[in-house]
Amino acid sequence: MIDLSTTYLRRPLANPLVCSAGPLCESLDNIRRMEDAGAAAVVLHSLFEEQITVESSYLEWHLSHGEESYAEAVTYFPDLQAYRIGPDAYLEHVRRAKAAVRIPVIGSLNGVSTGGWTGYAQKIEEAGADAIELNIYYVPTDPEMSAEEVERRYAELVRDVKASVRIPVAVKLGHTFSAPANLARRLDRAGADALVLFNRFYLPDFDLENLEVVPHLTLSSSYELLVRLHWVAILHGHVRPDLAVTGGVHTARDVLKAMMAGARVAMMTSALLQQGIEHLAAVREGLLDWMSAHEYESIRQMQGSMSYRSVREPAAFERANYMKVLSSYALRTSARPAAAPDLGG
């Protein structure tokens, strides 16, 4: 009997497959299907503080725009009794998700103000979430702001939230930090219970025809897994928080790699969007098949087995890795002499 169980955020999980924050989690029905397909936990889509503020302002502006300027049309909209502006709808979703499934339900929060982070975190806790994932997406456009300042803010934020809730707190990060390992250590000290690596953001893309900047998000591919594996492998054993891989997890092999790098769980969204929620079951089967074929007994057995401190050649995680790739590329391309690219510099 192969044991797929793991632990994450102080909770035992039946397997390491977790549905990450994404549009699928907006539907209760989907969440039920995720549980049925074998997900061990779900992270709900994010509550965006900024969105709440903007929606409130927009609604007010648009409802009142143009009113009281002409005698025949002093208003343009009926006066509805209540609008679910604010976290109410989200919190209701947390409550209903909790009632709908037995697997842990993790709330996700994307704040902008200190009060917003802590206030909404408490509300998510009160709504019954088993844990909370802080989805920190701060774009430091101010050239005067140093990396040190940015990281200090992250740490403070985590400390504030930790002080305001009792449930475990995960922190989801982007990968554009100068010193990710050090940041991980700082977040560890600030009390983070897990680090989720890495966030995938909407990135501005350019529409060349209209010369406009348009937000862009493509679904992930397994290729993106590599950077996650790299940093999970480096951090494994060096920080206390649980590590989670998100982004690029599509197949059972991807999950196995994440586990071997040192992750407690592997999170999926793109694969489910592409192949349907039931794909989870296939991944789970794939895990069992591979483990059986390779005579693994448990997931725990492999967790961290390929981490920085566990591999025979840790240099592969350092600059040497870069050298190796380049040379292997050069070897392959050298077969076609005319097309040797200039990879120097």
Partner 1 sequence: MSAVMRPGPAGETAPRSSARRSITLDGNGAVAHVAYQASEVIAIYPITPSSAMGEQADQWAAQRRPNLWGTVPRVVEMQSEGGAAGALHGALQAGALATTFTASQGLLLMIPNMYKIAGELTATVFHVAARAIATQALSIFGDHSDVMAARATGFAMLASGSVQEAMDLALIAHAATLEARVPFLHFFDGFRTSHEIAKIEALAPGDLRAMIGDDLVRAHRARALSPEHPVIRGTAQNPDVYFQAREAANPYYRACPTLVERAMDRLAALVGRRYHLFDYAGAPDAERVIVIMGSGGETVQETGEHLIGQGEKVGVLKVRLYRPFSPEHFLAAMPATVRTLAVLDRTKEPGSVGEPLYLDVAATVADAVARGSAPFARMPRVIGGRYGLGSKEFTPAMVKAVFDEAGRPSARTQFTVGIHDDVSQTSLAYDPDFSIEDPANVRAVFYGLGADGTVGANKSSIKIIGEQTDNYAQGYFVYDSKKSGSMTVSHLRFGPRPIHAAYLISRATFVACHQASFLERFDVLREAEPGALFLLNSRYGSEAVWGHLPRIIQRQIIDKRIRMFVIDADRVAREAGMAGRVNTVMQTCFFAISGVLPRDEAIDAIKRAIRKTYGRRGEAVVRRNCEAVDTALAHLFEVAVPPAVTSQIDLRLPVPPQAPEFVQRVIARMIAGQGDALPVSALPVDGTYPTGTARWEQRGIAAEIPVWDEALCIQCGKCVLVCPHAVIRAKVYEPERLVGAPPTFKSAPARWREFSTDRFTLQVSPRDCTGCSLCVEVCPAKSKSEARHRAIDMMERAPRDTAEAANWEFFVALPDTDRRALNQGQVKDVQLLQPLFEFSGACAGCGETPYLKLLTQLFGDRLVVANATGCSSIYGGNQPTTPWTFDREGRGPAWANSLFEDNAEFGLGMRVALDKQAEQACELVRRLLPHLGDLGPPLLEADQSSDAGIQAQRGRVARLRKALEGIGTSEARDLLSVADALVRRTVWIVGGDGWAYDIGYGGLDHVLASGQNVNVLVLDTEVYSNTGGQMSKATPRAAVAKFAAGGKPTAKKDLALMAMAYGDVYVARVAMGGSDAQTLRAFREAEAHPGPSLIIAYSHCVAHGYDLRHGMDQQKTAVQSGYWPLFRYGPTLSRERRPALELDSKAPSLPLQKYAYNETRYTMLAHSDPERARQMLAQAQEDVLARWRLYEQWAAVLAGREGGGAP
Q: Which residues in this chain contact partner 1 in the complex, by CB under 8 A?
A: 52-53, 55-60, 62-86, 89, 210-212
Reported in sequence order, the residue ranges of 40-110 that DSSP labels E, i.e. its strands, are: 41-48, 105-110
User: Which residues, in sequence order, are bridge partners of residue 131?
Assistant: 106
Considering the complex, state which of residue 59 and residue 323 has its C-beta at the smaller distance from partner 1: 59
Residue located via tokens 């456009």: 141
Considering the complex, state which of residue 56 and residue 146 has its C-beta at the smaller distance from partner 1: 56
Question: What is the nearest approach in angstroms of partner 1 to the Cβ of residue 81?
Answer: 6
DSSP secondary structure code for residue 112 in this structure: S
Residue located via tokens 């050239």: 143
Considering the complex, state which of residue 53 and residue 310 has its C-beta at the smaller distance from partner 1: 53
Considering the complex, state which of residue 3 and residue 55 has its C-beta at the smaller distance from partner 1: 55
Question: What is the nearest approach in angstroms of partner 1 to the Cβ of residue 218?
Answer: 18
Question: What is the nearest approach in angstroms of partner 1 to the Cβ of residue 144?
Answer: 22
Considering the complex, state which of residue 52 and residue 244 has its C-beta at the smaller distance from partner 1: 52
Question: What is the nearest approach in angstroms of partner 1 to the Cβ of residue 158?
Answer: 24
Question: What is the nearest approach in angstroms of partner 1 to the Cβ of residue 70?
Answer: 5
Question: What is the nearest approach in angstroms of partner 1 to the Cβ of residue 143?
Answer: 20
- Angstrom distance (rounded) from CA 314 to CA 310: 8
Question: What is the nearest approach in angstroms of partner 1 to the Cβ of residue 209?
Answer: 9
Count of beta carbons in the 10 Å neighbourhood of residue 163: 10
Considering the complex, state which of residue 16 and residue 87 has its C-beta at the smaller distance from partner 1: 87
Considering the complex, state which of residue 149 and residue 212 has its C-beta at the smaller distance from partner 1: 212
- Angstrom distance (rounded) from CA 41 to CA 37: 11
SS3 assignment, position 216: strand
- Rg (alpha carbons) of the chain, rounded to whole number: 23
Question: What is the nearest approach in angstroms of partner 1 to the Cβ of residue 339?
Answer: 33
Question: What is the nearest approach in angstroms of partner 1 to the Cβ of residue 99?
Answer: 16
* Helices vs strands, H then E, count in the chain: 12, 12
Considering the complex, state which of residue 148 and residue 212 has its C-beta at the smaller distance from partner 1: 212
Compute the Cα dihedral for 281, 231, 179, 326 and give only its sign: negative
Count of beta carbons in the 10 Å neighbourhood of residue 319: 8
- Angstrom distance (rounded) from CA 166 to CA 69: 52
Phi then psi for residue 140, to 5 deg, are -80, 90
User: Which residues, in sequence order, are bridge partners of residue 7?
Assistant: 12
Considering the complex, state which of residue 76 and residue 329 has its C-beta at the smaller distance from partner 1: 76
**Which of 206, 200, 204, 244 minimizes the C-alpha distance to 220?**
200
- The amino acid present at 247, given as its one-letter code, is G
Instruction: Supply the DSSP string of 234-290, one letter for each residue.
Output: HHTTTSSSEEEEESS--SHHHHHHHHHHT-SEEEESHHHHHH-TTHHHHHHHHHHHH
